[in-house]
A and B are shown apart, each in its own frame.
Chain A
Amino acid sequence: MTLSQDQLKRYSRHLALKEVGEAGQKKLLHSKVLLVGAGGLGSPVSYYLAAAGIGTIGILDSDRVDFSNLNRQILYKTKDVGQVKVERAKIQLEELNPDVKVNTYFLRLNRENAEEICSGYDVIVDCLDNFATRFIINDICLKLNIPMVHAGVYKYFGQTLTVIPGQGPCLRCIYPDGERLDQAPSCAYDGLIGVIPGVLGTLQVMEILKLLLGIGEANKDSLLYFDGLSLSFDRIKLNPRPDCICRKK
């Protein structure tokens, strides 16, 4: 495959990076990334993945656009209210970059459908708003040996961790009794500054691109915690739980 003249211009900033170059850009164009959740995190993640020329982007979400989404979900416009999110996302992303094929999944992920949907993707991105589904993709990624890039946001704060099966901790190492997290404080109730998922989502994309290109060091051993009030990052070094499911292989 040879890059077209348009592609040489579109990706010229990537091509100028010696760690990426034409070979790296071709890797991206052949890559498949699945976003679970098309909301606050899913918006910047999908935009930057599309702009980067990720060949196949899967987007899964069961919601329609609501007015309350519009302070942070930059994929959608006011006229999109009431529309199916993944359908609007597909139009936006394919307009941004026609090199990108967008697969849409207008449904809820569950233990029955997760394996079939996630199979074949190179990276799964946790853009979810609840821990119950996060544990489903955590477990499926471990089973299928697919890296997962996690992020979560709350009020002025956010966190991210890249789970690489067999190479570091997973979400269940931090949250072994995770089901209680269904009572976790809700952004709908407590609020969320719109830019916080923007910060965390773009960090997720950096991790995804590094994984796909095989460059840099993945954030696989630490929970990176962002505090928007003090504009500070903290890295909390994690140790896998010896009896966690991610250690049983």
Chain B
Amino acid sequence: MKITVKLFAFLRKGRFAAQEFNVKEGTTVEEIMSNLSITKEEMKIGIILVNGQHSTFQTVLHEGDVLSLFPPAAGG
């Protein structure tokens, strides 16, 4: 199945801004992160959205899903 991964801020460094991937059914957010060498530590307080909705490392992805990963911008 096809999914799109969008990365923001420092997560783009050495990777990409947005890319489409072919993955097997049942793939989780954590598996995508692992394939991209994004550690859980890096995303400990990161924001995970699937189709714009809050999600977790364990969220299972489906055909056409858009996964967005970014750090929180806390400053003001």
Contacts and interface: CB of A to CB of B under 8 A. Distances in A.
B68 A130 contact: no
Contacts of A39: 76
Interface string B32-55: 000000000000110101011110
Interface residues of A, number: 44
Nearest to A244: B54
Interface residues of B, number: 22
B8 A154 contact: no
A173 B54 CA distance: 7
11 contacts: A39-B76, A130-B76, A153-B75, A154-B75, A155-B10, A157-B8, A157-B73, A197-B76, A230-B12, A239-B51, A241-B53
B17 interface: yes
Interface of A: 37, 39-42, 126-131, 151-159, 173-176, 180-181, 183-187, 192, 197, 222, 225, 227, 230, 232, 234, 236-239, 241
Interface of B: 6, 8-10, 12, 17, 44-45, 47, 49, 51-54, 68, 70-76
A239 B72 contact: no
A8 to B, nearest CB: 35
Contacts of A130: 74, 76
Contact of A184 (B12, B53, B68, B72): B72
B52 A237 contact: yes
A155 B8 CA distance: 12
Nearest to A40: B76
Contacts of B74: 129-131, 152, 154, 181, 184-187
Nearest to B75: A187
